[in-house]
Structure 1
Amino acid sequence: MASAGTNITTDQSALLSLRAHMVTSEPQQILANNWSAKSSVCEWIGVTCGSRHRRVIALDISNMGLSGTIPPQLGNLSFLFSLSLSKNNFRGELPDDLARLRRLRILDFGVNNISGELPSWFGSLQKLDYLFLRNNSFTGSIPHSFSNISNLKALFLSFNSLQGTIPKEIGNLRELEKFVAEYNQLSGSLPYELFNISTLEVIALSENSLSGSLPLNFCQRLPRLWWLSLSLNKLSGQIPSTLSQCSGLQALSLSTNEFTGTISKEIGNLTLLEKLYLGLNNFGGRIDPHSQF
């Protein structure tokens, strides 16, 4: 049943408010001409309406050369399950009103110039499957409330200015498949809880200031892992010989850290490996000439 007091006119007003907050930098003025009160919202470019309630359920205006800010009225699109404003030039902070988009499953603000701290209210969007915030100007730390997004499968935070530690509560994301937060300023050790998420396929945390060592038997708990990228950090200790148990690994990048010890010949058992980067560490010993690298 539709929310009391809201209808397609509510959705129309929200979208017209978004249009009004855009700078006239849209190259071809597509939205300026197409998003008009003279036509049905469901016929507007980038808008998809549901067949049952005829309310806006998806908005995709990505890669249209748009510029401007995101108005709080966007939070009135109460039936929205997919929102993509990626690859534009939206700026400013995200309004708290977006926390009311409780049906969202896909949220993509990637490749813009959105700033401010990562909002803790993301944790209230508990139906989210995919959250893309890469290539923006976000600051602050990763909120602990992210752990409330229990359905989350992909979290992309790369190319921002995030600081602080990776919260151990991330281990609560039991369906997470891709955790990508490269090119930030994250510090502290890798939380042990991260390596308990058995669904993880991609861990990409290169170009941060992470320290500490790799858990000894983490591969036993990550049977689906095929991409591990931790280069350009401050990680130390030895690379576990049990790394060979990550049998599905296709890419392993551990270069430019402070790892010591020897390179285990068991790495040669990673038969699916296509990319291997181990340079600029503090390894010793010699490479076994009989290794199957």
Structure 2
Amino acid sequence: MASRVALVSFLLLLAAAPAMSTNYEGEALQALRARLSDPSNALQSWNPSLVNPCTWFHVTCDVRNRVIRLDLGNSNISGPLAPELGRLQDLQYLELYGNNFEGKIPEELGNLKSLISMDLYGNRLEGEIPKSFAKLKSLRFLRLNNNKLSGSIPRELVTLSNLKVFDVSNNDLCGTIPIDGPFATFPIQSFGNNSRLNGPELQGPVPYDFGC
């Protein structure tokens, strides 16, 4: 009888206890780590058993223990980017420059609605610039230079009214350069060394980009 009472009491305590929420930010970062080669052990402190990733090196959190900054610049890391990074809804700074990230830029990065700066320059990223970046309304700095990106510059990016710096130089982009919105202020050097990229588009309907 006593054991039955104890069991019932234990079950009631479990029912009353708040459900533990999954650490989705830590899981998103672990998904990135699982894809990467890290010969310099830059990610050695990324311990999945911790309550949250706020004590990990290269990760900064706010007072609510939400990840707001990921700094992995010049860390000798290689491999593809994880689409799970798009779950970091409070991320403001994504600094992944000067590594050997490869493959396509995940469309899911367009879900980082709080992002202020995205620095992916100096890697081996390929494919097109995601049109989903047009959803990054807080974005001020977007540096994608010195990669292997192809395709045209998405015209959807002209809606990014807060964008102050845009650099896609030293890629393999094609088509024409938008002239609307913030693109009216970017220097020509921001587009340099793209052999198939033509000059600014003309006023009127957007022309078809032959060979793009």
User: What TM-score do you get using the length of structure 1 for normalisation?
Assistant: 0.58
Partner SS, residue 20 of structure 1:
helix
> By how many angstroms is 1:8 displaced?
7.6
1:42 to 42, 45, 54: 54
| 1:20 equivalenced with 2:30 (yes/no) | no
User: What secondary structure does 2:23 align onto?
Assistant: helix
1:115 aligns to 2:111 (yes or no): no
Query: Which residue of structure 2 aligns with residue 76 of structure 1?
Result: 87
Of 175, 186, 191, the residue aligned with 1:181 is 191
CA gap of 1:59–1:176, structure 2 versus 1, over 3 A, is farther
Residues 35-57 of structure 1 show CA distances to partners (whole Å, capped at 9, x for unaligned) of 01234411111100002x21000
Change (3 A) 1:83 1:102: same
**Cα RMSD after superposing both structures:** 2.2
**Matched position secondary structure for 1:138:** strand
Distance in 1 between residues matched to 2:35 and 2:79, nearest whole Å: 6
* 1:185 shift after superposition: 2.2
CA contact (8 A) 2:150 2:172 kept: yes
| 3-state secondary structure, aligned to 1:57 | strand
* Aligned mate of 1:30, from 6, 28, 42: 42
Q: Note the residue ranges of structure 2 that are not aligned, 5 or more in a row.
A: 1-20, 204-212
Once the two structures are superposed, residues 142-188 of structure 1 have per-residue CA deviations (whole angstroms, 9 ceiling, x without a partner) of 1101101110000010110001111233xx11794656111102444
1:13 counterpart SS class: helix
Match 2:103 to one of 92, 107, 110: 92
| Structure 1 spans left out of the alignment, 5+ residues | 1-6, 194-293
Paired residue type of 1:19: R
Distance 1:60 1:176 in 2: 28
CA distance in 2 between counterparts of 1:187 and 1:110 reads 18
Q: Percent identity?
A: 35
More helix by share: 2
**Measured at CA, do residues 187 and 95 of structure 1 come closer, stay the same or move farther in structure 2, by a change above 3 Å?**
closer
1:93-172 maps to which residues of 2 (within 5 A)?
Answer: 93-169=104-180, 172=181
> In 2, Cα distance between the equivalents of 1:175 and 1:36?
45
Compare 117-126 and 57-66 and name the one that shifted more.
117-126
Aligned equivalents of 1:153, 1:11: Cα separation in 2:
28
Higher relative contact order (CA 8 A, sep 6+): 2
**Correspondence for 1:10 among 18, 24, 42:** 24
Distance 1:174 1:90 in 2: 27
**What is the number of equivalent residue pairs in this alignment?**
182
Alignment of 1:258-273 (within 5 A): none
Give the TM-score normalised by the residue count of structure 2: 0.79
Q: 1:189 to 1:158 in 2, by over 3 A?
A: closer
